[in-house]
Amino acid sequence: MNGISGYSAVQENYASSTYKSSNQAKTGSSKKTSGTQGRRELSDKAQALLEKLKKTHSNMDFMVADKGDDTKELLSRGTKEFSVIFSAEELEKMAADEKFEKKNMDKVFDAVRMTEQINKQYGFGPASEKGEILKVGISFNDDGTTSYFAELEKMSESQRERLEKAIEQKKDLKDLSIRSKRTQVSASSMKELVEKMNKVDWSKIQEQDLRNYKPGFDFSI
C-alpha cells in the first residue's frame, strides 16, 4: 500500500502549481460545491482553487463542508490517506488572498509531515497494541479554527491473518466480512491529536462487523 508522499515532495508540488482563474466566468458567478451535499455555492475563483488543489495533490481528499455537516462523518467518506475539509467561507478567503491560502496549506503540509512521523515515534501499526491509523484529516472551520482528526482500527490476530491472506490471494474484499474495532479522535492541534491517539482505551470499544472492507494506509513509508 502506498503511503503519503514525502513532505518535501508535497511542498514542491504545491509551489510549482500555478493558479489559473477562469477567463470565461463572470464576476460574482458561482458553482455548487463538490464533496458534500452541494448546498452551498462557491465563486468561480474558489471552485478553481478547489480543483487546483485536487489536481495538485491527488493523494489527498479535498472536501467542502456546509454549516451543520459532521466533519467526522465526512472524514469517514474519504478514500485517500489524508483528507482536507474546508468550510465554504475559508475556501473563499483562500481564493481571494494568496497569503491566506499559503497559511492554510502550510498547516496541511505540517500535518502531513507529522503524520509521516507518527508510526516511527509512537508505534502505531497493524500489529500494534495501540492500533493502526486508517485516515488522518484536517478541517478549516468557518469560525477560523482548525481541527484535526484520526480514524484508528484494532483487530485480532486471527482477523488480521484472514485479511492478509485475502489480500495476498487478491480476493475481492467486498466479499470479505471482517470483525474489528474502530474509533475516531479529534483535537485542535496535531500534538493534542497524537496524545489522544495514545490514550485510546480499546477495551471500551466494541467490535463491529465490517463488509466491503477497506484497509488502512501505510503511513510509515
State residue 2's pLDDT score. 41
CA distance 141 to 26: 28
Q: What is the mean pLDDT of the chain?
A: 79
State residue 3's pLDDT score. 47
In the predicted model, is pLDDT for residue 17 greater than 60?
Answer: no
CB burial class (10 A; 0-12, 13-18, 19+) of residue 197? Answer: buried
Do 34 and 76 meet the contact criterion of CB atoms below 8 Å apart? no
In the predicted model, is pLDDT for residue 111 greater than 70?
Answer: yes
Check residues 193 and 128 and name the one with the higher pLDDT.
193
Percentage of the chain lying above the pLDDT 90 cut = 40
State residue 40's pLDDT score. 62
Check residues 37 and 50 and name the one with the higher pLDDT.
50
In the predicted model, is pLDDT for residue 36 greater than 50?
Answer: no
Please give the model's pTM, rounded to 2 decimal places: 0.74
State residue 16's pLDDT score. 45
State residue 9's pLDDT score. 45
CA distance 151 to 210: 15
What is the distance between the terminal CA atoms of the chain, rounded to a whole angstrom? 9
Check residues 103 and 166 and name the one with the higher pLDDT.
103
Kindly give, in sequence order, each residue whose CB lies less than 8 Å from that of residue 26, ignoring residues fewer than 6 positions away. none
CA distance 56 to 46: 15
Percentage of the chain lying above the pLDDT 70 cut = 77
Do 127 and 155 meet the contact criterion of CB atoms below 8 Å apart? no
Average pLDDT over residues 35-55: 80
Quick one: pLDDT band at residue 150, thresholds 50, 70, 90?
Answer: very high
CA distance 147 to 157: 33
Q: Is the dihedral of CA 173, 200, 78, 67 positive or negative?
A: positive
Average pLDDT over residues 18-28: 38
| pLDDT per position as a tens digit, 56-107 | 998 899 999 887 788 888 887 888 889 999 999 999 999 999 999 999 999 9
